[in-house]
Structures are given as structure tokens and as C-alpha cells.
Structure 1
Amino acid sequence: MADDQVNLSNCDTEPIHIPGQIQSHGFLVVVDAEQQIQFCSDNIEQFLSVSAAELIQKPLHFLESEIGYSLKPNFIADQLNLAKDAKKFDQFNPFAFNLAGVPYHLIIGLSGGYHLLEFEPVAATAPMDIEKVIGHTLFEILGKRVLQDLLDDTATQIRGITGYDRVMVYRFAEDGHGEVVSEARKDDLPAWLGLHYPASDIPKQARELYKLKLTRLIADVNTTPSRILSSGTDPEPLNLTNSQLRAVSPIHIQYLKNMGVSSSFSISLIYQNELWGLIACHHSSPKFIDYKSRQSARLIGQILSSALEYRQNDKIQQEQEEFIYHSKQLFSHLKENDNIEAALTSNSSTILDIVKASGAILVYNNKITRLGVTPNDVQLSGLILWVQKNIARSLYHNVSISAVYPPAWFYKDIASGMMVCVLSKEIKEYIIWFKPEIIQTVNWAGNPNKSFEPQEDGMKQISPRNSFEVWKQTVTGTSADWTTEEIKSAMNLKEEIIYIINAKASALRLLNEKLTLAYEELDAFSYTISHDLKNPLAVIKSYAQLLERDKSLGQQGKDFLKRISDRADKMNVMISEVLNYSRVGRLDIVYKSVDIAVMVKDIIADLKLLYASPDLHISTGEMPNLHGDRTMILQVFSNLISNAVKYSQQSRPSIIHIEGEVNAEETCYSVRDNGLGIVAEDHPKLFELFNRLDNAKDIEGSGVGLAIVKRIISKHQGRIWVESNLGAGSVFYVAFRHPTPAHP
């Protein structure tokens, strides 16, 4: 790509795999499936007595005759055929031969449907036992147990093999920028250990190529690259991803020149199929290392990659084991404890232990539980509101909350990093972990912001940094990263919580279904038994009345018969009440607007006639209408008001007051009296069937009325409760919810 084509608009997508040029220390010939030459580098005349134009569209044996390899005819074609049959080229590369008395390597590669034939000189260096050197190097490297020692020794060994002035181990961060984490160098060179380089120094497309091509040599930044000539039969540019000689981006060439580097060589380090980093070699003068030496260096890189993976996996395994231990403890607590909140926060293992966090909160069941070091309640209130509005995915994490939620800047010292596990977005339940701020001073190799130079067309062309003096930057408001293992641990916990919640909900639903069925069966049984008891009671009373007419019966016998008749009447009343109670369970609600003022007025009139006492005073306040079943609501108010009158007869005067109040969600009525009152411990038993209070045994009643009231209120999805103290009267409250769209 020409220099004037590289500008601000396309630098990050510069197609460096199709530069249309090669480095000039070797030459390139490209043949198609029929072994016809379709591409050729224009510098071939420097190596052979034929031009690129003369070779284009010639058969491969024409090239072989020009090379003049007399020992074995068709030697290149034979290599191609063997490699194609094996479907790989490594075991056939390189093929060594002499060209005009100079040793060369032929390296075969693929480019789509083409074969790349790259010819490089063999390095004119003193011969060495490369296998012995590599064996010793690997022995030294793999003997290191500590990661930093491993990296340091690798840099030293690679420098010994290649002879470069400086060898660095360069590690990539998640955002693409890199850091020199180890180096071996000449004594007179400045140290670059610990320096950071922006992601734009090695842009994304270059990093992708490093994953595919594990070694990369730039022999001399000061030479002019050689163009690749094409037959023109293929409109697509030649892909040089697998090429050894691929030319270098002019931006990178200038970048190296600005660093004072004339030659570079890199070896890719791969971890879990991703680019972990590079072994980067720099030299102040042109330097060529041949294919075999590069392959040896590649082997060292692969061994180091495996060692990195082994040590990293060992570290991950230790972290995993710790998280798994605490997760198992939590899972056990969840299964054994019906209280989800207590299971997650109140045992030796809590949600704080399944990640490396300094604080955590559980937002569950309309309550916030805090663990460790967290923002205060006011700060959490704002943060949770932001989470509710902005976090949609099941797991969210970042290392700088304040970058997305600015108010978090004020508590970055305790919560710069945040991970959110969404248990339920609908009911706003979350687990949130926090990590504190880690203040870092990052040493950049020069100002990381590249400068731009204006061009005649008004665009800006990137100008690689000229200065690599240390440029310090203080990074604040950022926490340690959330590791892959922490994220997995949080996700596993969420899945277990959801499973347990669903399991408990299913069990509760099944229990409710069984209770409903049992309740219905008991209801039907009660109705049947109560109904069937009425006939025998009627017979008992009839016989008692007949016996009372017997003239020979003494007074004591007559008293006994009178008591039998009274008890039969009382039993009949109780059976009628039970029938009413059962009937409530079977009846459907017919929703209507009920005029409570008229209803209560009629009830009061009947009670005043019944009791006819001058000491009875019944008053009313506001009487808002209710929405429900008129017959059932009549039972509610009849029971409550008659009870208030009945249990306040001993007071002089007996004062009853009824009134209603409307709020946003419901209409609440109160029935107040100044009667006997109820001790606090009896309040929970008031609404049970056949329950009679000790201080009301002498007052007539069946013990069923309040149970009927409770059942009617529940059927209306309302509430009933009491406030009372012994000797201080009682206030009964009933609350009915406002109509819903289902009951207009």
C-alpha cells in the first residue's frame, strides 16, 4: 500500500495482508493449481537472468530451467506434489539448493488456490548444532518455576540464539495495549522494561496476523520493497498472510526508524488460541536470520506458550478450587434453608467468597444486605436505581463504575469495579460485588496519542511517534480486572439460586394445590355433616318437648328436658353457622358497588330494636362505598357491629363508632367499641373456628362469626386485623382493595 493511502480514516483497517510487495532480500514466484506462474516479484532479475514479465504465465519447469538445478529435474514440482499429497508443507520446508554457488532455501506456502514459492538466502553465519542449542535453551527455560523467571530466561536464551541487540517479552492487555514484561539487551541500551505501548502501535489486524503467522522478520527497514507483478487473470490482490517475505506497512517502517531500529524479529506467544504477547527482537543495523533459525525460535515460542498455559492453568485451578469450595457451601445452605437471604449471607461461606471482591450486596425480597466494604445506603440507593435502568443482561461487569455512572467517583476508593448478577430484573433482585480502586502509574514509551500531519487534500495522515521518552500517566478510578474464573463463579451461583428458587416455588405451588384440594374436601365434608346433623337434632328436641307434657314427670326431670331442648337449639345455631362458613367457600363473588352507609344504617336500626338500651350509642363517620359481593359484605358488617354491641354491654354507656377511609390502594373500615377488650396473646386466635375468649365465656356466641368474616375478607383479597387491650375496648379493621380491570 502506498504511503499516501494510509490516513486517519483507514489506519485501523489497513489491509496489511495484501501489500502487493515483498521484502527485497528474497524473491517470490506464485503458481496456480496447473503449475502456471501467475505472480512474480519484480526483483527476480537480481537473482536470475530472467525478468518477472518473462516468467508470468509460464509453466513451472521454465523457472526450474532458469534456476539451473541439474541434479534433479522437476525438483520444485516434485516438492509441490509431495506437499499437496501430505496437505501440509512443514515437513518439506525448507528445501535447500545452490543458486550460482550461493545456498538458498525454498519455502512453500499457500495463498487460496495458489502456491507461494519463496526463495531466501541461507544466513552466512558460522554453523552451529541448532538441535543442541535448542535443547539446552528449552532445558533452561522449562527449569523455571516462577513465571517472571521463565520470561526473563526466555528473553536471554532467544537473544543468545539470534544475536539481536534487544529481546523483549511483550504482553497484550485486554484493550490491545502492550507492556514490556521482560527484556535482555546490550548494556549500552536504555531499559524498556515496564514501558507501555498503545494499542495503535500494533493495531488489531496486525495482532490477528500474529495469531496466524507465528514468526515475522523485518530484515532491513531501509531497503525498498519489491512489487509483485500479476498476470491479470485474477482481479483479487494476492493474499500474503502465509508469506515469509511479506512487505511491511510504511507506517510501521517509519515507526521502527523513529525508534532507531533497523531490523526486527518477532515470535508469537499464544494462550488459549489468543495472542498473549510477543517475543520482540530489535537490532540497530540490518540483520537477517534464515528460515531454519526462525523455525527454531518459533519452537521456543511454542514451548513458552505451553509453559505459560501450564502455569496459568495451575493458577486458575487454585482459584477455581477456592471458588468451588465456597460455592458448594452456598449451594448446600440454599438447599437446606428456606430463607434465601440467610443462606447467601449468614454462614461461613457467603456471596463475598465466590469472587475476589472487597464488598457485596444482596438486593432480595425488597431488602438490601451488605457484606464487606460497600458504599453507604444513600450511595447504594442511587447506584441500584442506575442498575435497574441500565443493566439488561444477566451478568455485567466493569473496572470503572464512575466511567458509566459519574456519582460513583465519590466512593471509588471502596468501589471502583463492579459486577452485577441479575437474579430477576422484573422484581429488581440482584447480587452486586465491588472491588476497590487501584491507583497506577503507567510508564508509556512516549506520548501514547499519535500525532497527525495535514495533507494537501485536507485529510490527516498518521505520523508515528518520534519521541519514545518515558511519558508517565496516573490511572485512577479503576479496580483490578474481573477474571474469567470470577465471572464463571458468579454465573454458576446465579444458576443455582434460580434453580433453588424455582424448585422451592414448585414445591410451594404443589403444596398449595394439595391444601386447596384438602380445603375443598373439608369444606364439602363440613357442609354435608352439618346438614345431616340438623335432622337428628330436630328429633331430639321433638322428643324432649313431648316428654315435658308427661304429668307424672317430676320437676327435676322437667328441668333436664328443658336443658336438653336448650342445648339442641344452641347446637342448631352452631350448625347453621358452620353451614354459613362452608357456603362462603363455595360461593362465587358477584362484584358490585355496595352502598355501605345504607347497609350500616339498617344494621344499626335492627340492633337498637334488639337491645333497646338507652346506654347504647352507635355513631358513624365517613362511609365510602365498597366494591364486592353485597351479601358477603353484609355478613362482615353485621358480625363486626353486633359483636361490638354484644361485648360492650357491660360498659355504661356502650359506645360504638364505625367509619371508613380511602387511600391510594384500598378502602379501610374500622369498628371501634369500649367493651371487654382482648389480651394481646389471643389476637392470632380470634379468627379461628369455634374460638371463644376466656373473658367472654358468659356471653352467648358460637365462635364462628369472626371465622366467617375472615374467610369473606380473604375471598375478596382484603385484610382484617384487630387492635385491642384487655379492658380497653377493641378496634377491628377490614381493608378492601380498589377494583382491578378484572372486576370493573
Structure 2
Amino acid sequence: MFVPTLENCSREPIHIPGQIQDHGFLIALDGTFRITYCSENVVNFFGITATELLNRPAGMLDSYLRRTEPPNFVIQLIKLAQSDQGFEPFNPYPLTINGLPFNLIISRSEQFYLLEFEPEFSDLKADLQRVVGRSLSEMLSDIQPASILNKSVTKIKEIIGYDRVMIYKFHADGHGEVVAEVKNDNLEPFLGLHYPATDIPKQARELYKKNLTRLIANVYTTPSPISTMLQADMAPLDLTNSALRAVSPIHIQYLKNMGVASSFSISLVHEDELWGLIACHNYTPRFINYKERDAAKLIGQVLSSALSFRILEQDEQNAARYKVSTDLLTRQLIRENNIANALFNHECTLLDAVDATGVAMFFDNELHTKGPVPDEAFLNKLVSWLDENMEPDIYATQKLSEIYSDALEFKEVASGMLACRLSKELREYMIWFRPEVISTVNWAGNPNKAVEVTGPDMSTISPRKSFEVWSSEVHLTAVPWIHEELQSVLKLKEEIRFAISRKATQLRVLNEKLKEAYDELDAFSYTISHDLKNPLSSIKSYSQILLRNADLDPKAQHMISRILSGAEKMQAMIQDVLTYSKAGQIKSEYKLVNMENLLNELKQELLVSYNDTDVKININGVQDVYGEETMVMQVFSNLIGNAVKYSQQASKPVVNISAVDHGNEVEYAIQDNGIGIDPSEQEKIFELFTRASDVKDFEGTGVGLSIVKKIMNKHQGRVWVDSKINMGSTFFVRFKKPELA
């Protein structure tokens, strides 16, 4: 026998109780039409015990039913009633037992036929057909959900005559709320009260979806056990579809604690899920027959359809509202080249995709926000948590702090969260937030004490005895997200992915054009190398020959020297242009570059080149960098060479080289005490053929820093300068570490 405890209450097998309610009796036949199960109270109706009936052919029941024609009446009735829709269209079949009217209800239980016999008795005076017809007409003509619910409970009460009829709606967490009620005047109201999910456990809710009506005629009677001749290890008879199925002793005690003697319920189903119940209470025992229950069920089915229609209508309105925003955002994504701008810098923004107060988006290594959101440090930690814990690409909660405790600090803006992942690898997310909404909920008894623990070892449970109104204030909870909002976000996610794909296609086209441009540049470089360098070499050679002529007067020598100097300068410029055109085109074989060797080698070369100056080059710290070694050499050769060149006029020229580890990056600083650079020119000096205005006395073509910038861009790094006139310059370069490059 099943004994409910704290550990197994939710697993109580209420579909196989092994007994029935005693206002009727049950006989089950196997596939050969032999009596396999029988309720022990059959003796009260047939005057024969269950043991005497078991394992006998079904034909013997004919005599007890006063049906001798046709032969095997019960078997023929079962065969006649069976159809593709089961036995429901046939039920109930009227019979007479001991001179009293009964209804036979036939159903299947796995391989068995269930025959349930219950009285036809009714004390209702209402014309069922008229009441039901009028009820359906009134319900279908109404458009307000609250009015439909109120009319439904009124009509159900008129049909079945119960003291109280309620509509009990299930919330997403399983707890219930009374949303409509009609009652006798002497009863206290239950309207607006909430009931914990444990009052109707999950397995009971599953049965309510399969069996749409449930009658408990009298909680004070003793159920009748079901006997069988089958082996003890055989599974008990499944009474899922039974009208007489006995009731869990926990639920019986629950009803007694409420003062309820009889209950009746009708399931309200929306899209195959239990939306709620029409729950009926009577404070004295009450039986209602099959036809009355069926009439009430019909109203419940129509109410379910009406509710479904209104729910779907509201869903469609919500979907249409969000579609307006999604369509606007989609058009902005098509028009804009920058995805973040499309979503944040227009009248319709990402915030409008759902009903939220704030939104944050991590995209393309940047954070974008709109409306009140937590600070950037929290958002970064939240994304890390989502990376580890978010399985689907979309997740919504109205109680963020329950699953992520750090959110407590930001309850005013982030009690609710709807997160959508764009890319886990790139840590790209859209996250909407809702604030805390404090509310008061009235419970029928303390929801934290839905059961009482008893027994010597405190493991046996019984339902609570008190149903006095217990108010609780709900904190750390936001307005729940609805299905249409999630659909809106998923649609927007796909549009963003399409936009990214379009940008990628455009980028591929641009890359093809860039490749063509590089090919043209290579051809141009070849032209410079072969078509310009050779004539310049001739000019230099002839100029040098002419200068050796002793007969030339000083003026001629000066002019030829100018020609030679110009040719040498032109040759240097051509070489710089060739170097710039090739910068970044070297085959990229990235590795950790030994900077100590590289810097010392450059230092020695520069000291030899500038041996006529008293320059000092100090290497104060070294950090290896990740890059292509030849290009890294070009960067530091240009920067240190410039530092030495523009420090020559100082009384004691000094160049300091230092490195700092910034965690994700390595930064080098090359500092000199030279002539400095005007702040207004510090951005321009990285452009091709651009030099500062005060460097005319120094050799150069304005290409070196352009080469540095081009190489740093290829390395996804940065270069910048901090300088003041006559106070020297410090050039900075930052290289990404291997795992980020």
C-alpha cells in the first residue's frame, strides 16, 4: 500500500488506487470477455460476491441485468459501442438493477474493458437541454474574457446545483488562482485567492488532461477495493479513464479540512495544456449523474474553446505590435552599414523589440546600451555566466536574482532578463531588462506550510488544516515575458544574422577588389623599379663623372651637385614607396618575437650609423611580442630611427625604450628628447607623404610612420604619439597577445 511521505508525495500513483468510490461498482473484462477485476461492493447490487464473479464469462452478467435477449447481451453491447472514437459517443447506456435506473459507462484500460455502473438518480429540476443551449448561446456572444468566465460558473451552478463553483487558473509556476466564482450567500468568498502548486500536484494535473470531468460524491464514505484473480505481481488496474476511480487519501483529507463533502471539476484545456479547472464544492455529500456531468463538460469544452480563441486573439495582437518594431529594425539593418548604428541610433531602437525598460548589446567587441541597465562590470560578468549556463540561444526569467545572485544589487533595473545569444565564440549577446515590481498575493493558507509533517519520525505528511487568508509581499520579481516577445527576439536575431551575412558578402567583394588593387600596386612597383630606377642611376652616374672634371667652374659644380642630390633623394623616395606598398604583404608567419635580440641588433646598427653624435639608447624593459618578425623589425626600426634622428640637436640626445604588460596586450614606448611635434599635427604624421612642418632640416620622405601604422593595423594593434614642441616625443605601440591576435 502506498503511504505518502515528504519524499514520495509527488509520485503518488493516483491512477492505480486499487479501489473505487462506493456509489457505483466496477467490473473489468479481459480480451476474451472473462471477468478479471471486480469491485467488492458488487455484492450490494447483485447479491453475489466479487470472488464468485471473478474468472467467469461476461455472459453470466446478463441475468443480473435482467437481459436474456439477445444472448451474451453485455458482450454484444461492448462490440456495438466500440468505435474509432472509443466508447464516449455511446455512453451512458441505461439499465435497471433491482428496479432502480442505472447508467453503464464503458471504457478501455489497456487490454481490459471497464464496465462501470452508477445510479441515474437526479434531484435537479432544470431542463438540461434548454439550460445548456442558452448557456452556450450567451457564452459565444460575449467577447470579454472575464464576463465569459462569470457566465460559465453561473450556468454550471444552475446545472449541477453545487454550493460553490469557481474557475481556478494555473500560473506558469503551477500555483492556482480563483479568477471567477459564484456561491451561496452564506459562504465566504474565495475569489482572488491563490493556492500553492502542491495542492494539485503534477500527476493530478496530467490526469485532468486525460479525463475532463472528475466527481467525488462523498468524502466520508469508505472506498471499495478491487479484487482480481491475477497474480499478485501483475500491475494494478489502470483507472485513468474511470469515472469511479477512488481518491487519494491526501486529497480526501484536504477537502475535509476545507469542510467540503463533495467536489466536481471540469478541465479547461488550451493547446493540449491544462489552463485551469472549473472547481465545484458542496458542503454536503452530492451525487450528479453522467448526463449532468456531460452537460457541464460541454460547457467546459465551449469555455475552453472561447478561452483559446481569446488567448490566440491577444497573442496575435501582441505579435502584430512587436512585428511593427521588428520590421522597422530590419529595414534599418538593410539601409545601415553599421549594425549597432541601425539598432541604437534611430527612432526605433533595439529596446522597442519587446516591452523592456533597458537593453544592452555586446557586439563587435563593443557594448551598446539603451535605457537603465546595470553597469558595464556587472554586464561583463553576466555574459560570462550566460556563456557557462545558457543552453538554448534564448533565455527569459522574471526572477533573475534567484538564478544569478549578483543581480540583487540591480533589482531596480534588472529583476527580469531576456537574453539572446548571437555568437558564443564572439561573446555577442542582446540582453533586455525589466525592473522589480512589488506586489501583494493573498493565499488560501500559508503557502510555505502547504502540508503538515506528522508521525514518529516526522516523515508522514497531511494537508494543511488552515485556509485563512495569508498575504505575502512579492519582491525581486518582474513582469513575466510572454511568448510573442521571445518570438520577436528570435526573429530579430535571424535578421541580424542576415545583416552580418550581407556585410560578410560585401566584405568578400571588397577583398576581391583590394586584391586587384594590390596586384595593380605590384605592377606599379615593378614599373617604378625598372622604368624609374634605371634612368635615375644613369643621372647619378653621369653627374658623378661630370663632377670629376677639374675644368668646371664653381657654379657648374654647384648645379651638378644639386642634380646629384635630387637624384639621390628621388631614389630614396622610390625605395620608401616600394617599402610602403609591400608593408603588410609579407607572408604572415606569426610567432613570439625575441625582442631582446631584435632591439639590441637595432641599437647597434643605429649607433654605427650615427657615430658622429653622442646619442644614448636605453633599453629599460623587454616583453616579447606576437607578430611577423620582419614587420615587427620594420616598426621598431622606423620608430627608434626617428627618435635618434630628431634628437640629434639636443645637447645630450637620449632615447628610452620600455615595455609594459597590460594583460591582453604588450605596450612599447619609444621616448626621445628631440624637437617634439605640434599637437595639431600628431594625427596627420601617420598619413602617407606627410611630415611635421618643423622637420625641413631633417632628411625624410614622410613614408616611415605610414609603414608603421599599416603594419600595426595588420597586427590588429595600435600606434599613437604623445608629444610637445621642444619637449620630445613618446611613440606607443600595442601588440595583442597570441590568444587574442
TM-score relative to the length of structure 2: 0.87
Deviation at 1:6, TM superposition (A): 2.7
Residue 211, structure 1, aligned to residue 209, structure 2 = yes
Question: Aligned partners of 2:637, 2:108: CA distance in 1, in Å?
Answer: 96
Mapping for residues 660-679 of structure 1, pairs under 5 Å: 660-664=657-661, 665-666=665-666, 668-675=668-675, 678-679=677-678
Mapping for residues 635-714 of structure 1, pairs under 5 Å: 639-640=638-639, 643=642, 653=650, 656-664=653-661, 665-666=665-666, 668-675=668-675, 678-680=677-679, 682-691=681-690, 696=695, 700-710=699-709
Q: 1:176–1:198: 8 Å Cα contact kept in structure 2?
A: yes
Question: Aligned partners of 1:386, 1:622: CA distance in 2, in Å?
Answer: 43
SS at match of 1:596: helix
Deviation at 1:211, TM superposition (A): 0.5
What amino acid sits opposite 2:606 in the alignment? I
Mapping for residues 165-314 of structure 1, pairs under 5 Å: 165-232=163-230, 235-314=234-313
SS at match of 1:44: helix
What amino acid sits opposite 2:23 in the alignment? H
Question: Aligned partners of 2:350, 2:500: CA distance in 1, in Å?
Answer: 16
Question: Aligned partners of 1:633, 1:182: CA distance in 2, in Å?
Answer: 77
Q: 1:660–1:667: 8 Å Cα contact kept in structure 2?
A: no
* Residue 361 of structure 2: aligned partner: 362
* Residue 322 of structure 1: aligned partner: 321
Deviation at 1:295, TM superposition (A): 1.1
Question: Aligned partners of 1:60, 1:304: CA distance in 2, in Å?
Answer: 40
Question: Aligned partners of 1:341, 1:711: CA distance in 2, in Å?
Answer: 26
What amino acid sits opposite 2:271 in the alignment? Q
SS at match of 2:355: coil
Equivalent residue pairs, number? 730
Residues 404-423 of structure 1 show CA distances to partners (whole Å, capped at 9, x for unaligned) of 34454455344332233334
Mapping for residues 59-208 of structure 1, pairs under 5 Å: 59-70=57-68, 72-125=70-123, 129-208=127-206
SS at match of 2:441: strand
* Residue 571 of structure 2: aligned partner: 572
Q: 1:584–1:708: 8 Å Cα contact kept in structure 2?
A: yes
Q: 1:155–1:168: 8 Å Cα contact kept in structure 2?
A: yes
Question: Aligned partners of 1:706, 1:545: CA distance in 2, in Å?
Answer: 32
| Aligned match for 2:609, one of 601, 606, 609 | 606
What amino acid sits opposite 1:89 in the alignment? F
Question: Aligned partners of 2:340, 2:85: CA distance in 1, in Å?
Answer: 60
Question: Aligned partners of 2:338, 2:710: CA distance in 1, in Å?
Answer: 29
What amino acid sits opposite 2:132 in the alignment? I
Residue 412, structure 1, aligned to residue 411, structure 2 = yes
Residue 519, structure 1, aligned to residue 518, structure 2 = yes
Deviation at 1:312, TM superposition (A): 1.2
Q: 1:563 to 1:453 in 2, by over 3 A?
A: closer
Deviation at 1:154, TM superposition (A): 0.6
Deviates more, 1:438-447 or 1:122-131: 122-131
Deviation at 1:278, TM superposition (A): 0.6
Deviation at 1:507, TM superposition (A): 3.6
What amino acid sits opposite 1:280 in the alignment? A
Deviation at 1:360, TM superposition (A): 2.8
Residues 94-152 of structure 1 show CA distances to partners (whole Å, capped at 9, x for unaligned) of 11222333222111101001111111221244675432221101112223222111111
Deviates more, 1:732-741 or 1:223-232: 732-741
Residues 465-484 of structure 1 show CA distances to partners (whole Å, capped at 9, x for unaligned) of 22322222222222222222
What amino acid sits opposite 1:607 in the alignment? Y
Deviates more, 1:483-492 or 1:261-270: 483-492
* Residue 431 of structure 2: aligned partner: 432
Q: 1:196–1:445: 8 Å Cα contact kept in structure 2?
A: yes
What amino acid sits opposite 1:660 in the alignment? I
* Residue 596 of structure 1: aligned partner: 599
What amino acid sits opposite 1:103 in the alignment? P
Q: 2:61–2:74: 8 Å Cα contact kept in structure 1?
A: no
Mapping for residues 721-740 of structure 1, pairs under 5 Å: 721-724=720-723, 728=726, 731=729, 733=731, 735=733, 737=735, 740=738
Residue 33, structure 1, aligned to residue 31, structure 2 = yes
Question: Aligned partners of 1:741, 1:441: CA distance in 2, in Å?
Answer: 52
Q: 1:310 to 1:601 in 2, by over 3 A?
A: same
Question: Aligned partners of 1:131, 1:338: CA distance in 2, in Å?
Answer: 67
What amino acid sits opposite 2:454 in the alignment? P
* Residue 613 of structure 1: aligned partner: none
Unpaired segments of 5 or more residues in structure 1? 610-615
What amino acid sits opposite 2:463 in the alignment? P
Q: 1:595 to 1:202 in 2, by over 3 A?
A: closer
Question: Aligned partners of 1:704, 1:321: CA distance in 2, in Å?
Answer: 58
Residues 255-298 of structure 1 show CA distances to partners (whole Å, capped at 9, x for unaligned) of 22222222111100011211111111111222111111111111
Deviation at 1:346, TM superposition (A): 2.8
* Residue 13 of structure 2: aligned partner: 15
Deviation at 1:86, TM superposition (A): 3.5
* Residue 52 of structure 1: aligned partner: 50
TM-score relative to the length of structure 1: 0.87
Residue 348, structure 1, aligned to residue 351, structure 2 = no
* Residue 533 of structure 1: aligned partner: 532
Residues 501-545 of structure 1 show CA distances to partners (whole Å, capped at 9, x for unaligned) of 354345435534642553255235413541343334445666778
Q: 1:443–1:470: 8 Å Cα contact kept in structure 2?
A: yes
Residues 211-252 of structure 1 show CA distances to partners (whole Å, capped at 9, x for unaligned) of 000001111222221111112158111000011111111221
Deviates more, 1:206-215 or 1:411-420: 411-420
Question: Aligned partners of 1:467, 1:107: CA distance in 2, in Å?
Answer: 38
Q: 1:639 to 1:403 in 2, by over 3 A?
A: closer
Q: 2:528–2:574: 8 Å Cα contact kept in structure 1?
A: no
What amino acid sits opposite 1:64 in the alignment? D
Question: Aligned partners of 1:156, 1:322: CA distance in 2, in Å?
Answer: 35
What amino acid sits opposite 1:358 in the alignment? T
Question: Aligned partners of 2:111, 2:234: CA distance in 1, in Å?
Answer: 14
Q: 1:66 to 1:390 in 2, by over 3 A?
A: closer
What amino acid sits opposite 2:55 in the alignment? Q
Deviation at 1:595, TM superposition (A): 5.1
Q: 1:152–1:182: 8 Å Cα contact kept in structure 2?
A: yes
Question: Aligned partners of 2:365, 2:685: CA distance in 1, in Å?
Answer: 30
Q: 1:542 to 1:604 in 2, by over 3 A?
A: closer
Q: 1:655–1:674: 8 Å Cα contact kept in structure 2?
A: no
* Residue 612 of structure 1: aligned partner: none
Question: Aligned partners of 1:36, 1:258: CA distance in 2, in Å?
Answer: 42
Residue 489, structure 1, aligned to residue 488, structure 2 = yes
Question: Aligned partners of 2:109, 2:120: CA distance in 1, in Å?
Answer: 24
CA RMSD of aligned residues (A): 3.7
Deviation at 1:45, TM superposition (A): 2.0
Residues 410-445 of structure 1 show CA distances to partners (whole Å, capped at 9, x for unaligned) of 553443322333344455443332323333332222
What amino acid sits opposite 2:660 in the alignment? N
Q: 1:303 to 1:699 in 2, by over 3 A?
A: same
What amino acid sits opposite 1:160 in the alignment? E
